[in-house]
Structure 1
Amino acid sequence: MRRNIWLIAISSIVLLVIINNVVFFYITRYLLQHELEQQLISLGVQIRHAAEQKRIGLDLFEEQISRELRAASIAIKYALDDDIEKITPDQLKELAHELDLSHITLLKKLHDGDIVLYQSSDPKQTNKSTSTWDPWNRIFHELFAGKEIDEEWLGTSLPNFWSGPYEVSSTDYTNIYKWGYFYDGTKNYMIDPYVDYTAVNEYNEATGLDRLFEDLISSDESLLEISIVNPLTFPNDKITIEQDGSERKHIVQRPVLYGSYQYKSRHDEADVREAFQTGERVIRTEHIEDVHTYKMFIPVFVEDERLVMVDEEGRPMKGYVLVITSNYDYISQDLKTSVIKVALITLIIMSIMVPAVILIMNYFKNLREEAVQVAQDTYIEEINALFQSIRSQRHDFINQVQTIHSLAKLKQYEELEKFTAEIAGEIHMINDYINIGHPAVAALIRSKLSQAEAYHIRFTHDVKAVKLKALAGQALDINRILGNLIDNAFDEVLHYEESLRAVSLYGREEKHALHITISNYCEDAEQRAASPLFQSGFSTKSGEHQGLGLSIIASIVKQYKGELKVKALDATTISFDVRIPL
């Protein structure tokens, strides 16, 4: 039994430590994930503001290029003949070189309404139709008609001029250009000067978003990549099939506008669409290329300024998705470090707790053993007294009979009555032991009878057939209940004069319960019964009483799943009733 107690105690400590570490692990992981999420959200806000500023700067830069293309168009207008048939490619090539342009192309509107690239400094452009260039072809017709260009599409609109965004050349898919288109009705052709991507590329490399993303990734080891993606064309490039069957990609419809996209997942397309359609952040954790990644998809919407990106139908977009990919292994490493630290701290605490628990358990074990020893000593003393009384009565039986005979013969009836009363008292005491049924309980009641006699308390009892077979081994707890109940009653009646000092005890071992009732004289019994008598520390007595007796009774009764009630039988009698299941 003792070994089982130690095993239960040690197992409980180990279980608590395991539960504590598991709870700590999950809480720490949640906090680290939450911290990473907040960091990425904050980074996303910073990137968004920086992207807006750099995009505005790039728009202004491209607008300035558009103005320069318009100025070049006006210069070309005065340098060339009014009739396109009198202009040669060599003239255009020389003029393009002087104006620091990549090329110059002249567009002519034919009788059938088609607009073609009629003359150019680039031979690849000559005689190429624009009928499939939507919306460029529509804008060309508006310029030839002298209309203002629709501002809903990308580009820069100036008087008699429009310049579109940088885009892949229709005649050379390896080059990217920015074209300007000028027509004021003074010529029979439209002037189209254009420049390559060099200037914008140098601008982006120096101050653009790609440079910003590279700097952020290099300054934070946990960041893997940052991307700004087109949610409606991601992840595939928009491709146009030309008349000759060739394929041409479009910059303004490219899926990744800025940044890199190396850590690809089959969930990315759905996550990008979900973030853009719901306007809520989407987070996904998974392994990509042996790296445990933590991706956050942040939708960004721009109301005032248009982005240099369009949807699959060529319509300008006012939003994009920012994708930030982080290395989740850094969280795992922090979590591992934290768990190791906690494990070390736990071991230190356990090395202190285990000896402390052992000392505490030994202390309470010694207290219990002392209490048991006191009960056993009392029990032995009372049993010895009983046996001694029986032996004395047996030894003196003949003498007592002779004494009774002599007193009767001498007619000393008064003395005879006194003598027989003494004998009856001893016999009654022995019968009490026999009727009660349990030696330890009988011994306790016998000792309390002696105590009551000394205090001049009328202590009557009616305790019978208390064998406690169903509570074998728990006689100590039953005696603790009885002892504290009787002591509490004695303490109460000692406050009154001798004539009022009355205590009665009732005890029966019934079919399914042990029933104990004790009642005593008590002024203001109803008020006393309503007070928190069973609360630890509560006491109505003065002096050294600590209010523990009744609380001890309550804890023992609760331990055995019994019932403990207090009530006022009348204005001056209080009763305590205990029932313990057998």
Structure 2
Amino acid sequence: MFYLLQLFLIVPSLMGTALITGILLLLVFIGLEWLRTDLSEKLSIMMIEKQHFETERLHLNETFRIVRSERHDFLKHVSALHFMLDHDQHSEAKMYLNDLVDGYEETNLSIKGERGSIAGILHQMYRDATKAGLSMVYDTDLPLSTMPMTDKKLVMLLGNLLSNSIDAAAEWQEETGEKGTITMQFSKRSGLYILKVVNPSLKIPGPVLDKLYQTHGITTKSGEHQGLGSAMIMEIVNEYGGYLDFIHKDQHFEVKLKFPAIH
């Protein structure tokens, strides 16, 4: 539609209209072009947000399904343990209980005290790390849901932070052959929420470090990554009056975020 309108504006100019009329048509043409560009950018942002919402919905549904499944099977596990203990099968019961605890630990780490959408993204990141052969550690003094931030922004923040860490740690693990561990810590100190993520990382070039979290298209990862996540993290930090700092030393990358505890 915009192209057709602009075409109709160009035709009179080519037919030799008066100077003033030509200038007015040119200004209208420029205005339409600016409007078209602006609407295109907004539409692009809406499409990205829609994709994020769809991913978040899938994560939440999967977490809910797993919790329901574990609750449904709980009494069956208790009955099995009861039978083993009644028949003095203590070693078998211990092995069975260890396997059971390992399975529940994955879900419990993600959902304790968290709102649904936050539990969903944490659970998905835990599973993604486990699938990549990595160890994911959540060390939180209080639920991340207590952060004075909308669920939408918090999901985007956590999703980008943790997915970046998983990608970097997976590359490091593949290169070194050692098992990678990602640690996320969350606490509240002196009126500040402090969120820290640490992961192993290959060497990052100085020019990349200088522009990291500042510019779109800058990434520490190889392949076809676009470097959008780091810039989005910084945008959220700025929006909520936070502070971001990062350190890369001895093949370890640490990013620390601080947000004022103001609702």
Q: Which of the five TM-score ranges fits, normalised by the shorter chain?
A: 0.7 to 0.9
| 2:164 alignment counterpart | 488
Tell me which of 89, 111, 114 is aligned to 1:412. Answer: 89
Q: Give the letter aligned to residue 198 of structure 2.
A: S
Q: What SS does the aligned partner of 1:432 have?
A: helix
Instruction: Name the CA distance, whole Å, in 2 between partners of 1:489 and 1:345.
Output: 50
Tell me which of 372, 375, 381 is aligned to 2:53. Answer: 372
Instruction: Name the CA distance, whole Å, in 2 between partners of 1:449 and 1:547.
Output: 22
| 1:467 alignment counterpart | 145
Deviation at 1:531, TM superposition (A): 4.1
* Structure with the larger RCO, 1 or 2 (CA within 8 Å, 6+ apart): 2
Which structure has the bigger radius of gyration? 1
Instruction: Name the CA distance, whole Å, in 2 between partners of 1:355 and 1:500.
Output: 50
Instruction: Name the CA distance, whole Å, in 1 between partners of 2:191 and 2:179.
Output: 35
Q: Give the letter aligned to residue 484 of structure 1.
A: N
Deviation at 1:511, TM superposition (A): 7.3
Instruction: Name the CA distance, whole Å, in 2 between partners of 1:526 and 1:345.
Output: 47
Q: Give the letter aligned to residue 432 of structure 1.
A: L
Instruction: Name the CA distance, whole Å, in 1 between partners of 2:244 and 2:258.
Output: 7
The 3 A distance-change label for structure 1 pair 400 and 444 is same
- Superposition map of 1:78-227 within 5 A: none
Q: Give the letter aligned to residue 155 of structure 2.
A: N
CA displacement 1:62-106 (0-9 Å, x = unmatched) = xxxxxxxxxxxxxxxxxxxxxxxxxxxxxxxxxxxxxxxxxxxxx
Deviation at 1:524, TM superposition (A): 5.2
Q: Is the 8 A contact 1:505 1:519 kept in 2?
A: yes
Q: Give the letter aligned to residue 223 of structure 2.
A: G
Instruction: Name the CA distance, whole Å, in 1 between partners of 2:46 and 2:38.
Output: 12
- 1:431 maps onto 2:100 in alignment: no
Instruction: Name the CA distance, whole Å, in 2 between partners of 1:356 and 1:531.
Output: 30
Q: Give the letter aligned to residue 455 of structure 1.
A: A
Q: What SS does the aligned partner of 1:499 have?
A: coil
Q: Give the letter aligned to residue 560 of structure 1.
A: Y
Instruction: Name the CA distance, whole Å, in 2 between partners of 1:440 and 1:477.
Output: 11
Q: Give the letter aligned to residue 47 of structure 2.
A: N
Q: Give the letter aligned to residue 470 of structure 1.
A: P
Q: Is the 8 A contact 1:457 1:498 kept in 2?
A: no
Tell me which of 468, 477, 485 is aligned to 2:153. Answer: 477
Tell me which of 65, 78, 90 is aligned to 1:401. Answer: 78
The 3 A distance-change label for structure 1 pair 528 and 443 is farther
Q: Give the letter aligned to residue 237 of structure 2.
A: V
- Superposition map of 1:488-567 within 5 A: 488-494=164-170, 495-496=172-173, 497-508=176-187, 512-522=191-201, 531-534=210-213, 535-567=215-247
Q: Give the letter aligned to residue 544 of structure 1.
A: E
Q: Give the letter aligned to residue 577 of structure 1.
A: K
Instruction: Name the CA distance, whole Å, in 2 between partners of 1:339 and 1:510.
Output: 65
Q: What SS does the aligned partner of 2:161 have?
A: helix
Q: CA RMSD in A?
A: 3.2
Deviation at 1:527, TM superposition (A): 6.5
| 2:118 alignment counterpart | 441
**Total equivalences in the alignment:** 239
Instruction: Name the CA distance, whole Å, in 1 between partners of 2:222 and 2:104.
Output: 40
Deviation at 1:501, TM superposition (A): 0.8
Q: Give the letter aligned to residue 465 of structure 1.
A: P
Instruction: Name the CA distance, whole Å, in 2 between partners of 1:355 and 1:526.
Output: 38
The 3 A distance-change label for structure 1 pair 344 and 516 is same
The 3 A distance-change label for structure 1 pair 541 and 429 is closer
Instruction: Name the CA distance, whole Å, in 1 between partners of 2:219 and 2:205.
Output: 16
Deviation at 1:383, TM superposition (A): 2.1
Deviation at 1:457, TM superposition (A): 0.7
Deviation at 1:367, TM superposition (A): 2.9
The 3 A distance-change label for structure 1 pair 518 and 416 is same
Q: Larger strand proportion, structure 1 or 2?
A: 1
Tell me which of 238, 250, 255 is aligned to 1:571. Answer: 250
Tell me which of 23, 29, 32 is aligned to 1:348. Answer: 29
Q: Give the letter aligned to residue 515 of structure 1.
A: I
Instruction: Name the CA distance, whole Å, in 2 between partners of 1:384 and 1:339.
Output: 67
CA displacement 1:317-357 (0-9 Å, x = unmatched) = xxxxxxxxxxxxxxxxxxxx987764443233334443554
The 3 A distance-change label for structure 1 pair 452 and 344 is closer
Deviation at 1:428, TM superposition (A): 3.3
Deviation at 1:430, TM superposition (A): 4.7
CA displacement 1:518-542 (0-9 Å, x = unmatched) = 0012355897995432243233432
What TM-score results when the alignment is normalised by the length of structure 1?
0.37
- 1:458 maps onto 2:140 in alignment: no
What TM-score results when the alignment is normalised by the length of structure 2?
0.75
Deviation at 1:456, TM superposition (A): 1.4
The 3 A distance-change label for structure 1 pair 490 and 431 is closer
Identify unmatched segments of 5+ residues in structure 2: 1-17
The 3 A distance-change label for structure 1 pair 345 and 370 is same
Deviation at 1:517, TM superposition (A): 0.6
Deviation at 1:493, TM superposition (A): 2.1
Q: Give the letter aligned to residue 521 of structure 1.
A: P
Instruction: Name the CA distance, whole Å, in 1 between partners of 2:68 and 2:228.
Output: 35
Q: Give the letter aligned to residue 145 of structure 2.
A: K
